[in-house]
Chains A and B, each alone.
Chain A
Amino acid sequence: MKELKASMAGTVLSVLVGPGDTVTPGQPLVMLESMKMEIPVEAEVGGTVEKIHVEVGSFVNEEETLVTVAE
């Protein structure tokens, strides 16, 4: 199980995957918006999306869990 965390504080702009989706390392799973920039948060490992912890518009702090991926 690997938790994908926010690289910096910001707002969730879009969630690009859903539970059950297969993901590969480096694939963007969530887009954050911070400092007016679109910031992709990429999967560190390959696997299946177990849980999405946020929704579009949520404010997240740095290091907050966004997605859980089962390896």
Chain B
Amino acid sequence: MTKTTEKTGYNERLEQKLATIFAGGHPKYHEKMKESNKLFVRDRLKLLFDDENYVEDGRFANVEAGDLPADGVVTAIGKVNGQTVCVMANDSTVKAGSWGFRTVEKIIRIQETAEKMQVPMLYLVDSAGARITDQLDMFPNRRGAGRIFHNQVRMSGMVPQVCLLFGPSAAGGAYIPAFCDIVIMVEGNASMYLGSPRMAEKVIGEKVTLEEMGGARMHCTVSGVGDVLVATEEEAISEARRYLQNFPANFAVKPERIEAKAAKAGRTLEAIIPENQNAPFDMYELIDQLVDEGSFFDIKKLFAAELITGIARIDGQVVGILANQPKVKGGVLFGDSADKGAKFINLCDAFSIPLLFLADVPGFMIGTKVERAGIIRHGAKFIAAMSSATVPKISVIVRKAYGAGLYAMAGPAFEPDVCIALPTAQIAVMGPEAAVNAVYSNKIEAIEDPKERIKYVQEKHREYKEEIDIYKLASELIIDEIVAPHQLRDVLAQRLSFYESKELPLPYRKHAITPV
């Protein structure tokens, strides 16, 4: 045998091994994936990365085992929108994407790489959970599965962390999505649960389907653990790419301004906003008139829809929008909307995305049901997040802003960089009807003649409205500016660019005791 053929022999062995690794698990599992409209892990990565290019670490993990190519997870570095990112992607054709010792070690290493390079970390999850047969090697130890979550917590707010959920994320594995900034779920295939329906039936006697207990739609509408519900894996990947366009590589870098687009053609704000404070309208139509067309990325669209949260561009500048939705539950704030708002503010504040509050809020919900559910601590969580955000904060009072609703929506006391009122704005402890009733109920009841009573109430309403007239508040310097609705977009674009250099020192302490 000549030296040359020896070398060829080496290469053949390498190529053989690589072919096995690239093929993934047994063909029958590939077939199963096709039947469920799922893509093979390497095809997912080709769609995710620019130009299909990536480098991979730990490719030969468990290569000696023969049937565990890459040990069921691909860990890679590639480019998304021209920005370097790190990725872990389960291969569910290999032992259902379950985690062995090397799987976990690979995930930990790619996280460490993302932290060292200060770049976003993406988790493409499709895994049955731990390999119980390998538990001592991968569960309780210092570099066991717990370290993955520990790293996620450590990296939170340092680099963007995105979860794309294509299949199950079971038991402990369900914490990967929970510690991410955002979770994109494919309807019909993605699921999250601590105990499977089979376990629930055995242990607590509950009979339930997987969809009901931990399906994508349930998590994106009811539990709020999911953020974006999509129909296909292709859509999940394109949504992840679209989301990341708004983010810098890490907390120390500011998001880039992109080319501006005009707002969508439509009715003016004057036409959209009803004069009657109590009448519903669609806040999405108003947002469309403020942001660059097609730029709005809705987060938790289907969960607590009375508060809209999404990232958009105004004149090419990135902005995180929180807007009350009068069309849903009157725009009243609940415990779930408070949770939604708080997490969204934390996300934007961590990555230097300025905040825009569009207030049209009757206040927080009242009644026994919400009190028992702790609406006060949920509201406190929302207000604490808003209050401690140091990014530029612009508060726009669209219509009413009553009670603690004004506080949650970055009212004047919470140091917004500006509090702008539209001419329809009404700021008060409560609305005229409730206030007059609260103050004069004894007097009103004492008036026997119904006509006289109505006249008295109307007079008090008029007095109350005069008392909270928006020009009076502007005159008292409570609000900073009154803007014609059709000029609002231009005013926001201008102010966002002026506030770009805002820097606020954090208070001297270890950390706040955040209400939860």
Interface residues, chain A, with chain B CB atoms under 8 Å away? 7-9, 34-40, 62
A34: chain B residues within 8 A (beta carbon): 329-330, 332
- In the bound complex, do residue B280 and residue A8 qualify as a contact, i.e. CB atoms below 8 Å apart? no
16 pairs across A/B with beta carbons < 8 Å? A8-B332, A34-B332, A35-B330, A35-B362, A35-B363, A35-B365, A35-B366, A36-B362, A37-B280, A37-B332, A38-B278, A38-B279, A38-B280, A39-B329, A40-B280, A62-B369
B279: chain A residues within 8 A (beta carbon): 38
A38: chain B residues within 8 A (beta carbon): 278-280, 330
Q: Nearest-CB distance from A61 to chain B (Å)?
A: 9
B205: chain A residues within 8 A (beta carbon): none
Q: Nearest-CB distance from A4 to chain B (Å)?
A: 15
Roughly how many angstroms separate A67 CA and B327 CA in the complex, as a whole number? 19
- In the bound complex, do residue B433 and residue A36 qualify as a contact, i.e. CB atoms below 8 Å apart? yes
Chain B interface residue count, CB cutoff 8 Å, equals 19
Q: Nearest-CB distance from B425 to chain A (Å)?
A: 17
- In the bound complex, do residue B367 and residue A9 qualify as a contact, i.e. CB atoms below 8 Å apart? yes
Roughly how many angstroms separate A65 CA and B106 CA in the complex, as a whole number? 52
Q: Is B331 an interface residue (CB 8 A)?
A: yes
Name the interface residues of B455-489: CB closer than 8 Å to any CB of A: none
B326: chain A residues within 8 A (beta carbon): 37
- In the bound complex, do residue A37 and residue B362 qualify as a contact, i.e. CB atoms below 8 Å apart? yes
Known pairs A9-B367, A62-B369; A36 contacts B431 (CB<8 A): yes
Q: Nearest-CB distance from B42 to chain A (Å)?
A: 40
Roughly how many angstroms separate A36 CA and B329 CA in the complex, as a whole number? 11
Interface of B is mostly: loop
Roughly how many angstroms separate A1 CA and B366 CA in the complex, as a whole number? 33
A7: chain B residues within 8 A (beta carbon): 328-329
B365: chain A residues within 8 A (beta carbon): 8, 35
- In the bound complex, do residue A37 and residue B367 qualify as a contact, i.e. CB atoms below 8 Å apart? no
The 3 closest A-B pairs by CB, nearest first: A37-B330, A35-B362, A39-B330
Q: Nearest-CB distance from B121 to chain A (Å)?
A: 37
Q: Is B14 an interface residue (CB 8 A)?
A: no
B330: chain A residues within 8 A (beta carbon): 8, 34-35, 37-39
Interface residues, chain B, with chain A CB atoms under 8 Å away? 278-280, 326-332, 362-363, 365-367, 369, 431, 433-434
Q: Nearest-CB distance from B128 to chain A (Å)?
A: 34
Q: A34-B332, A37-B326, A40-B327 are in contact. List 5 more A-B contacts (CB 8 A).
A: A9-B367, A35-B363, A36-B278, A36-B434, A37-B330
Chain B residue at minimum C-beta to C-beta distance from A8: B329
Roughly how many angstroms separate A40 CA and B278 CA in the complex, as a whole number? 11
Chain A residue at minimum C-beta to C-beta distance from B367: A9
Roughly how many angstroms separate A68 CA and B465 CA in the complex, as a whole number? 41
Q: Nearest-CB distance from B337 to chain A (Å)?
A: 12
Q: Nearest-CB distance from A14 to chain B (Å)?
A: 13
A9: chain B residues within 8 A (beta carbon): 367, 369
Chain B residue at minimum C-beta to C-beta distance from A37: B330
Chain A residue at minimum C-beta to C-beta distance from B327: A40
Roughly how many angstroms separate A34 CA and B280 CA in the complex, as a whole number? 12
Known pairs A40-B280, A40-B327; A35 contacts B369 (CB<8 A): no
Roughly how many angstroms separate A57 CA and B431 CA in the complex, as a whole number? 21
Interface-central residue, A7, A39, A40, A62, by most chain B CB under 10 Å: A39
Chain B residue at minimum C-beta to C-beta distance from A28: B280
A35: chain B residues within 8 A (beta carbon): 330, 332, 362-363, 365-366
Roughly how many angstroms separate A9 CA and B330 CA in the complex, as a whole number? 12
Roughly how many angstroms separate A36 CA and B426 CA in the complex, as a whole number? 15
Q: Select one of B331, B366, B369 contacting A37, CB under 8 A.
A: B331
Roughly how many angstroms separate A1 CA and B83 CA in the complex, as a whole number? 50
Chain A residue at minimum C-beta to C-beta distance from B364: A35
A40: chain B residues within 8 A (beta carbon): 280, 327
Roughly how many angstroms separate A34 CA and B279 CA in the complex, as a whole number? 12
Roughly how many angstroms separate A36 CA and B362 CA in the complex, as a whole number? 8
Roughly how many angstroms separate A21 CA and B114 CA in the complex, as a whole number? 58
Q: Nearest-CB distance from A27 to chain B (Å)?
A: 13
- In the bound complex, do residue B431 and residue A39 qualify as a contact, i.e. CB atoms below 8 Å apart? no
Q: Nearest-CB distance from A3 to chain B (Å)?
A: 17
Roughly how many angstroms separate A38 CA and B329 CA in the complex, as a whole number? 9
Roughly how many angstroms separate A34 CA and B366 CA in the complex, as a whole number? 10
Chain A residue at minimum C-beta to C-beta distance from B330: A37
Q: Nearest-CB distance from A9 to chain B (Å)?
A: 7
Q: Nearest-CB distance from A60 to chain B (Å)?
A: 13
Chain B residue at minimum C-beta to C-beta distance from A7: B329
